[in-house]
Every structure is written in C-alpha cells, then in structure tokens.
Amino acid sequence: MDKKYFPLVAAFCLAIGFAGVAVLYQFSVAGKGSGGNSIVAPNFGGPFELTDHTGQGVTEKDYQGYRLIYFGFTFCPAICPTELAKMTEVLNALGEKGEQITPIFITVDPERDTQEVMAQYRTLFHPRLVGLTGTPEQIEQVTKAYKVYYAKVDDPSLSEYTMDHSSYIYFMDPENTLLALYKIDQTAEEIVKDIKTRL
Ligand code: NI
C-alpha cells in the first residue's frame, strides 16, 4: 500500500479502537466482581461455523479450552499486526502455562482474507495461531456473538478499501466465560501478569 496513506488508515484503526471501548464498556462495568479477579461476562460468544487456515470447516466446539481471540484483518497496516504480535509475545512469556491457551485470529474482512491469505499471514505470528475466515454471513454471525464492531470503509482517495473495527484481545475460559478484554494500550507484560493470576 502507498506509504502516504499509512497515517490515515492507522488513524481509522485507532479511532475505532476507541469507539469499541464504548461498545464494550457495559460488559466491563457489569462484570466487576467483588474481590478476586473480575470477569467481563459469563456465557460469552456463541455458536459459529467458520473455515480454518488449513481449509477445515470448524465450529466453536473445536476450541473449548482457554482462548485468546482477536478480530481484525490482514490488510490492517498497524493495529492488527501489533496486537497479534502482542498475543505471540504473551504466549511465549507464559511458557508452559501458555500451552493450554489457543490463540485465534478471526477476520472481519472475508472478501480479501481467504483461507490462503490467512494461512500465509498467520506464519508471521505464534506457530499455534489459528486463522479463521468464512462467508460474509458467517463472519457477521461470529462478530455479532462476540460484540465486535466492524465496517468496510471505501475512501475514494485510497486505492484499496479498509476496515474499521473494534480492537480487543478476548481471554476466554473453557466454560466460555469472558475473563478479560485486553485493550490496545495494555502491554504484553501487563497481560501476562493478569493471565497468570487467572490460570
Ligand atoms: Ni486493524
């Protein structure tokens, strides 16, 4: 992509990161427990049917342990790769403890993020990272279930469309409790510290 558009697209991503805070704020408020670790929401997410980066059809039943889930798109110039790199750093820092966590990247841009694109992109990150894509309808369903905001932005001054999207790393437990939503300003170190208290 043309370098001169980079700040604009990055700003889009960033603005949406903040907009997403408002969308999900209700969960973090509702989920504050008394004492111990707070949780964000019980029985979070829901059923989905998607295709993994190997071309295998999958559902939520294939991922029932601890999960770190990120929604984004491979053409994202800044935020998505930063967050996926952060997820990788977190899992590496957790060492053996991290092996019980499945890292998952779900695209909000199924038009461009085909299985082949996802298979290629995931190699930049954690070796166990699962890349999931699907039909536009399937992506709409899973993003609804996870309260993800996303929208296609067709700016005529850009050669390629971009995507607005909320940006969180979801930490889910085997009972589908959303334990934490890590925001873009949280460091890998802070996330590792939090996860260690919850495993
Ligand atoms: Ni992004």
Q: Is residue 25, in this structure, part of any structural domain at all?
A: no
Q: Is residue 104, in this structure, part of any structural domain at all?
A: yes
Task: Please give the residue range of the domain that contains residue 78.
Answer: 30-196
Q: What is the mean pLDDT of the chain?
A: 88
Alpha carbon distance 94, 141 (integer Å): 32
The residue with tokens 């929208």 is 151
Report how far ligand 1's centroid is from the alpha carbon of 34 (Å).
34
Give the model's confidence band at 31: pLDDT under 50 very low, under 70 low, under 90 confident, else very high: very low
Q: Is residue 173, in this structure, part of any structural domain at all?
A: yes
**CB contact at 8 A, 161 and 155:** yes
Number of separate domains in the chain:
1
Report how far ligand 1's centroid is from the alpha carbon of 40 (Å).
22
What CATH number is attached to the domain comprising 179? 3.40.30.10
Q: Is residue 145, in this structure, part of any structural domain at all?
A: yes
Q: Is residue 81, in this structure, part of any structural domain at all?
A: yes
Question: How large a percentage of the chain has pLDDT more than 90?
Answer: 76
Report how far ligand 1's centroid is from the alpha carbon of 166 (Å).
8
Q: Is residue 102, in this structure, part of any structural domain at all?
A: yes
Report how far ligand 1's centroid is from the alpha carbon of 178 (Å).
21
Report how far ligand 1's centroid is from the alpha carbon of 36 (Å).
32
Q: Is residue 5, in this structure, part of any structural domain at all?
A: no
The confidence score (pLDDT) of residue 184 equals 96
Identify the burial level of 32 via C-beta atoms within 10 angstroms of its C-beta, where 0-12 means exposed, 13-18 middle and 19 or more buried.
exposed
Report how far ligand 1's centroid is from the alpha carbon of 72 (Å).
5
**CB contact at 8 A, 170 and 67:** yes
Q: Is residue 47, in this structure, part of any structural domain at all?
A: yes
Report how far ligand 1's centroid is from the alpha carbon of 114 (Å).
17
Tens of pLDDT, residue by residue over 90-136, are 999 999 999 999 999 999 999 999 999 999 999 999 999 999 999 99
b (16+ CB within 10 A) / e for 146-157: bbbbbeeeeeee
Transcribe the chain into DSSP letters.
Answer: --GGGHHHHHHHHHHHHHHHHHHHHHHHHHT--SSS---SBSS-S---EEEETTS-EEEGGG--SEEEEEEE-TT-SSHHHHHHHHHHHHHHHHGGGGGGEEEEEEES-TTT--HHHHHHHGGGS-TTPEEEE--HHHHHHHHHHTT--EEEE--TTSSS-EEEE---EEEE-TT--EEEEE-TTS-HHHHHHHHHHH-
